[in-house]
A and B are shown apart, each in its own frame.
Chain A
Amino acid sequence: MVDVGQITKLAEKEIKRSVSLDVLSKLEIKYLGRNGEINKLLSAIKNIPDEQKKTYGQRVNKLKASMYRYIETRKKELQNKKSGVFFDKTLPGKTYPKGSLHIVSFAIEEITKVFEKIGFIRVSYPEVDWEYGAFESLNMPVNHPARDDVETSFIDTPAHPKLGKMVLTPHTSNGQNREMKRVGKPPIRMINISKCYRPNWDATHTPMFHQFEGLCVDKDISIVNLKGTLDYFAEKYFGVGTKTRLRPHHFQFTEPSFEVDISCNNCGGTGIIKANRCKVCKSGWLELGGTGMVHPNVLREGGIDPSASSGWAFGFGIERVIMMKYGLDDIRNYYSGDIRFLEQF
């Protein structure tokens, strides 16, 4: 009875130890030649009991295949050795082009997908709008002090007789009124992501930035639903276990208004890392942005009856969430076009 396993081991050992191509070709004949070991094994099949023939045949064929492989590999090794060429397997492979997307593009995609899953549609509205869209439609009448606060970039062009001056939108909230009017009647599930502009340019502000605005209007939408959505977003975008908290605040277009914080993932929301203060957050929380229940005047202005429907809205900065998630806080590089920044993503 021939032991296939033993021959396999022996052949592998002999091939690996072969010191020259000559020795190797002798081994090739020894094993794979017409009268070689493999053929001997194959012809020995007639002595094998019928019920074992199939398994035996398979084993021998497998041995044959691996024999070819061993010999080929060793042949290459010996050839390289002979010509003095060393085959360095640790070298990098062939280089393929690797471009980059802007970090803001990644964030926009990520955020859009998170909201798509709960039925929110992404919209596109003008970046250049009338004061009506940027302010009046959002319960910020002319001369309202809140409008001084929003430093706004104005366009040098005659004002519209009814809609006021032309401005670069200081927030994505101008999409609220437009979406209400487009849809006509609830339900509304909007996510508006766009460039915004304010005349502010320093270490932490750029005159152009991105916001994403959520708007949900339906019958019986309450604070409970706003909290549900914020919790959902925080977990999906910042990671499982991320918590949110609302704090009272004031915005003209929402009532009640809140500021949302999310728990800091750097310190696990404790504010402390190894007995030191967490450098990322303020006592375990990071400020995400503004939100609230849509002000009845804003609904009314959008043609929606506030006694029949209610809603929530939020507006967060894309650069801010990128900063919070990836720690990319050098905002001035975002729009400088520096290739050393761009090509990293």
Chain B
Amino acid sequence: MILEIITAGTYDSWNNFKMNIKITHKWLLDYLDTDATPDQVREYLSLCGPSIESVEKIGSDYVFDIEVISNRIDYASVLGIAQEAVAILPMFGKKAKFKENPLEKYNFKKYYLTHDRDIDNKKLNIEIKNKFLCPRFTAVIIDNVKIGTSPKFITERLIACGIKSINNVVDISNYLMLAFGQPVHVFDYDQIKGETMIMRESKKGEKIVTLDEKEVTLPGGDIVMEDGSGRLIDLCGIMGGLNSAITEKTKSVVLFVQTYDKVQIRKTTMSTGVRTVASTFFEKGLDPERVEPTLVFGVELLEKYAGGKVASKIYDIYPKPSKEKLLMMSYRLFDKKIGVEIPRKKINEILINLGFTVGEDSKQGLTLVEGQTLHITVPSFRTNDINIPEDIIEEVARVYGYQNIPSVLQPIVYVDQPKEMEDIFVFQNRIKIFLKHLGLNEVINYSMVSKDRLIDFGLDPKDHLRLSNTLSKDIEYLRTNLTVSLLKNIKENSGKKDVLRLFEIAKVYFPKKGDLPDEIYKVGIAVNTDYSDLKGIIEGIYKELNINTLPIPEIVEKDGVYMIELDFQSLIDNSKLVPTYKPIHPFAVIKLDKTFKIGPGHTYEVISQLAEKSKLLQKIEVVTLFENKLTLRFYYSSPDRNITEEEAKQELNGV
């Protein structure tokens, strides 16, 4: 059994978990007759099928590193890649044919021509408690095995493909998996007590020591094998038990080839954390038909390279043999979905080379036009991923070659963008650019903050949505306030720059009972300068957006940081693209300066409100502020006549 894990999870744009396998060029040529070079194989297959990420020369061979996409476990083997090559390489003018298709070469019928069907030197009592968990169960006992080193080609190929060579029997099991894409297990027959194998679901808390000498506690419901003494000897589909493993002393082995319920295998690997190459195969769902050639080929290898002799009949428990899957579709659908006409002959050829059977006429297809309808039989190894006509279209289009399909923009049509959506983006931009020009720096923070931050800020964590599977306490709660993050930014940047003026425009999330939260855009600003700086910035935004009526929300001060949060929608609602126009008039403007003593109850606000009672007042400016002496400049004028200085003074007198 292979213990190293060759899968690694990564994501890019959409969901995409990566699994890679390695096979060698010479190995491929065991099955494939081609004139394509290793580099051509890489290039052409990558364009039309499995993505071969690299070709590396090792000794006299070449190793392909191949990405296996999640629905195409069928090509994760030398045989699977050969099948793809048979379809793809001819499209590039290269010869590619099976030498002898192993699926035809290795089967029970041919096996029985050279093996005694009823041999019974050794036997197994097999019981499967839940047939659903094991769609196909096969086993055969091989006697007289001599544990030793593998032949050179097996060792070399396995090592080239990143698998350790252990001994001939274990190597053969790994070799079979990479050759045919069907993991197998080999037990030491003599360690299976009472010649009995009982496949059942595990009980919660049951323990098994696996090949890697680790004890695994099972969550229950896992597929396990028990022997006649009640010991667990296999965590099926994942890893064998240490107690029945192959050792130097092994004389008889059980070659064990099955398929399992993929959902249960995945559950067990997820809950136990035990993940092997075998389990990454089984959890994708394997073809029970592949079991037969794997077993027959396995016997051949054990006989040839481990001196084995078959000592039992083949146990084959296969209650529901896989059925042929048929699809019917119109040829015209190809043209429509691909956007270019692909000759029917080509369509048929591609499908046949991929292992499909095609026919063009049918007596049952009454509603479909004779000769225009394609009848497809899906090969057993593709029944998992081929379900609808679009799947067939993909097969044809990719092998035909996406590079051969033209590129034309769809017709441009008008689709109305809802005003409220448009406003969000237009105003965000206007505000962002304005603030940037004032010298502020935009930040984008995580939408999640820590519980401590909330409490520090005087917010109740209960009023926030919490992630149940957060990676870190730092990003556990969805924020309802942007300044929580901005304050953190300023603190973390202290020492890096003296003046810090930051802003963020983002959503905050207010929980609602039984419904999705309200996601509301806010504009958060934080500065380490002073109150007046921040207030000026807000006033600046209001002027930029021609907002006259909106009061300025409270500015919060904490540890020398001044912060504010503006409601984005209110800014939109109160803004005007163009301010109200005031006619220009030729009449004199009288400017008057006056100094006030300010104090509680006698603030600028109070003074200006008093002054604004005058109908002649145009604007007020702050001239100087020295201690509590405030000098203001008042501008008076009338749009229809010249006013005198006396008149203006009169207006100001009341203030």
Contact = CB atoms under 8 A, between A and B. Distances in A.
B421 A256 contact: no
Given A122-B421, A227-B405, A337-B485, 20 more contacts: A101-B442, A119-B413, A149-B16, A153-B467, A155-B467, A170-B15, A189-B413, A208-B448, A223-B337, A223-B402, A224-B338, A227-B402, A227-B406, A245-B47, A247-B51, A289-B14, A293-B337, A293-B390, A310-B337, A337-B489
A295 interface: yes
Interface stretch (A49-57, A85-93, A127-135): A127-135
A343 B442 CA distance: 8
Interface string A190-219: 000001011111000111100100001010
B94 interface: no
Interface stretch (A13-21, A39-47, A58-66, A228-236): A228-236
Nearest to B468: A156
Interface string B408-422: 111111111100010
A225 B406 CA distance: 9
B59 to A, nearest CB: 22
Interface string A313-344: 01111001000000000000011011110110
B437 A99 contact: yes
Contacts of B440: 99
Which of B283, B467, B511 has the most C-beta atoms of chain A within 10 angstroms of its own C-beta? B467
B444 A156 contact: no
Contacts of B488: 337
A88 B43 CA distance: 62
Contact of B438 (A99, A189, A229, A252): A99
Interface of A is mostly: mixed
Interface of B: 9, 11-17, 46-49, 51, 53, 69-72, 262-263, 266, 270, 283-284, 336-340, 385, 388, 390-391, 393-394, 397-398, 402-403, 405-417, 421, 424-425, 429, 432-433, 435-448, 465-472, 475, 478, 485, 488-489, 492-493, 496-497, 500-502, 507, 509, 511, 514, 516-517, 519
A128 B520 CA distance: 12
Contact of B263 (A98, A143, A195): A143
Contact of B13 (A149, A288, A339): A288
A188 B415 CA distance: 7
A153 B403 CA distance: 38
B70 A223 contact: no
30 contacts: A97-B437, A97-B438, A99-B438, A99-B440, A100-B441, A102-B443, A105-B432, A119-B413, A121-B415, A124-B421, A128-B465, A149-B70, A150-B15, A155-B468, A156-B466, A173-B14, A206-B446, A207-B446, A208-B447, A223-B337, A223-B402, A228-B407, A228-B410, A248-B69, A252-B15, A296-B388, A335-B445, A339-B496, A339-B502, A342-B441
Contacts, number: 275
Nearest to B506: A195
B47 A247 contact: yes
Contact of A130 (B72, B437, B446, B516): B516
A256 B390 contact: yes
A221 interface: yes
Contacts of B519: 126-128
A100 B442 contact: yes
Nearest to A343: B441
Contacts of B509: 127-128
A195 B432 CA distance: 18
Contact of B339 (A225, A230, A259, A343): A225
B516 A128 contact: yes
Nearest to B505: A105
Interface of A: 97-102, 104-105, 109, 112, 118-124, 126-130, 143, 145-146, 148-151, 153-158, 160, 166, 168, 170-171, 173, 183, 187-189, 195, 197-201, 205-208, 211, 216, 218, 220-225, 227-232, 245-253, 255-259, 282, 287-290, 293, 295-296, 310, 314-317, 320, 334-335, 337-340, 342-343
Given A223-B402, A255-B390, A296-B388, A229 B410 contact: yes
A112 to B, nearest CB: 7
Nearest to A182: B418
Contact of A100 (B337, B393, B403, B436): B436
A187 B406 contact: no
Contacts of A171: 14-15
Nearest to B69: A250
Contact of A124 (B47, B411, B424): B424
B337 A222 contact: yes
A153 B467 CA distance: 7
Contacts of B429: 109
Nearest to B403: A245
A310 B492 CA distance: 50
Nearest to A229: B409
Contacts of B445: 335, 337
B469 A339 contact: no
Contacts of A98: 439
Contact of B11 (A155, A198, A245): A198
Contacts of A124: 421, 424-425
B469 A153 contact: yes
Contact of A118 (B11, B397, B412): B412
Contact of B492 (A188, A314, A337): A337
Contacts of A122: 417, 421, 425
A118 B493 contact: no
